[in-house]
Structure 1
Amino acid sequence: MGLSKFFAGAVAMAIGAAGLAGTAAAQEEFKSMNLRWAHFAPPAWGSAQAEQLFAKEIEKRTNGKVKIQFYWSGSLGGPGELMDLVSSGAVDFASFPPTYYPAQWPMMGLINSLPMTWQDPKLAMDIQEYQIANNKAIQAELDKNNLEAVLIHGLPPYRLQCTMPVKTIEDLKGKRIRTFGDWPPYVMKQIGAVPVNVPLGEMYESIQRGSLDCGYNPVENSGFLKLYEVAKNWSDINFGAIAAYSSFMNKDKFEAMPDNLKKVFKEAYDVAVAWEKENFEVAEKKHLEDANAAGAQVVHFEEQEKLNAMFPDMLKTWQDTMCEKNLCEEAKSVVADTKKVMEQAK
């Protein structure tokens, strides 16, 4: 039984007459386990801190029996290797953006990378949570890749961190901008920029040595990567929020866990997701202050309305592209579920 069933509320467990899930779980016996979590990013990321909280909650609720050790910044495998590591069972967990593997995640990649669609990372997280619990196309991708989604994340609107001021769309012409996956490159090409797919950990050096003109990140990412040291002009251009990378567990290992441990995972999930949703504004404020102290400046982008008008319906653009790849029915279902959650949030 997958964690997605927890999202849907389909798991019912007897946890004691008082109904205190955390207390009851702590009183149960758990087998000692030492689990390994491979990660593509550094531990300073707010989403990574949520994962550490998730791990601590699991350890606490199992009386220290289940411990999770993280391996940060690709120390167990590069961005192109992490999915195979966890899918094969070589590691227990892995965190990576599904959009790094567009062929394996055509449906899940929507919420993980589509620009110019959402403003609120909390909403993007809610959309992904709903899709994992309810959308058959998303669930089929998880099954095919032998993975269980154990934690979701969000990212506030993407902006640009450049070596020169960017105030207009004309200023973006010919600029080499860091991107990833399929859809950020699409947007950059439409506005006349040059997309360069670069892994997160290589962005600083790429800007420093002049092979990139701009980073493409939310403020928080730019801050913990210290891009203010190499890119002093932080544009407030707004490319929209997304659901960020995802955290996966090997599906066979997850399914083999006893129900009481799955329940603990669900409790830890709730704590970590709630914390992450509350941390977005705090993290952005801190990293803007750090950037300002380091001599970076926020440059106002003067043509946001013009930029928005260039991309009136990215969900339709994405769906049409998936239809061209013979994934039309799957794409329509994902877009329908996405719009359903967006409507409910109004």
Structure 2
Amino acid sequence: MKRLMMYAAIFLAIISVFHSTDTLAKTMLKMNHQFPADAANSKLDQWFADEVKTATNGEIEIRIVWSNGLGDPKQNLSLLKNGTIDMAAMSAGYFPKELPFFSAPNSLPMAMDNICQASEIMKAFIEKIPAFAEEAGQNGARPLYFHLLNPYLLLSKTPITKFSDLKDRRIRIWGDDMPLLVKAGGAKPIPMFLPDIYRAMKTEVIDSCPFSVDMILTYKLDELAKHITEVVVWEGPAVGLWISEKTWKTLSPDHQKVLSETAEKARQKEIPLTIEAERTAREALKAKGVTFHPFPPE
């Protein structure tokens, strides 16, 4: 009798497990995110994940691992291609050889005038220029939408108020195009990924860094440098939200539609959020003793 009751208990436990897993997300997508959770665009990505879960009645759940918890930034593209991760929030500018079309707007300095241009241009590139879709497909990845970043001004440990102040500065760069701009000013380009900037500035590997005011706060660089020069070094599309083609092909047409439609909603939602992030960050940085310097032509 005891053995019969034990078997019955085991059977009920198994039924309970299957029932509970059926009520959970049927598909769990793992996303490697290169930014911390409190960045402005990270909050939008969390909104995207929540919206997808709601729109699919819990059939798709996106688990975001922040600050490169599933792999280094330089590994994201290969991890997507081989299906190790399902999604990634990553900068195309880190892959100039594999993604030359996508990396160009993410790294060309002084190519755009405002964030609205950046939002529209990436949407147009993906929808109207086949070479972009072909390039993504060759790398086993599919872009869903691209984030915006406020203008990259020049953060430095000591003031930069004229062109000659750039000489011999050690400036963090990325991609193939930014080094040319930095060298033209007589400075030394130092390539590095985002997670390494704080340590590099603290240990004097770099003394200057192009960054948006809100990201300066996010990465706490105001602790190390108190001067921002009001010269736009770069402005354009930023981190893209990508999904592995292997993962995409496993989704039903209805679920693919949900991801695409929610991605477009996120793109439209981001412009006012980005503008507000810059306004509040400027106020916060000034309150922390950061000085903004004009950069008049010589």
Could you tell me the TM-score, scaled by structure 1's length?
Answer: 0.77
1:1-346 matches, cutoff 5 A: 32-303=26-297
Q: Write out the 4+ residue segments of structure 1 that deviate beyond 6 Å after TM superposition.
A: none
**Cα distance between partner residues in 1 of 2:77 and 2:215:** 22
Shift of 1:139: 1.4
Cα shift readout 1:43-97 (whole Å, capped 9, x = no counterpart): 2222222211111110111122211111111111111111111111111101211
Residue in structure 2 matched with residue 330 of structure 1 by the alignment = none
Q: Which runs of 5+ in 2 are unaligned?
A: 1-23
Q: Which region of structure 1 is more displaced relative to structure 2, 274-283 or 164-173?
A: 274-283
For the 8 Å contact 2:107–2:234, the answer to whether it is kept is: no
SS of corresponding position for 2:70: coil
Quote the RMSD (CA, aligned, Å). Answer: 1.7
**Cα distance between partner residues in 1 of 2:216 and 2:113:** 18
For the 8 Å contact 1:113–1:183, the answer to whether it is kept is: yes
**Cα distance between partner residues in 1 of 2:121 and 2:112:** 10
Shift of 1:31: 7.3
**Cα distance between partner residues in 1 of 2:261 and 2:131:** 26
Structure with the larger strand share:
2
Cα shift readout 1:101-135 (whole Å, capped 9, x = no counterpart): 11101111111111111121221121111111121
For the 8 Å contact 2:96–2:104, the answer to whether it is kept is: no
For the 8 Å contact 1:177–1:195, the answer to whether it is kept is: yes
Identity of aligned residues (%): 27
Aligned residue pair count: 276
**Cα distance between partner residues in 1 of 2:246 and 2:275:** 37
Partner amino acid, structure 1, of 2:88: A
SS of corresponding position for 1:153: strand
Partner amino acid, structure 2, of 1:201: P
Q: Which runs of 5+ in 1 are unaligned?
A: 1-29, 307-346
Partner amino acid, structure 2, of 1:62: T
For the 8 Å contact 2:31–2:62, the answer to whether it is kept is: yes
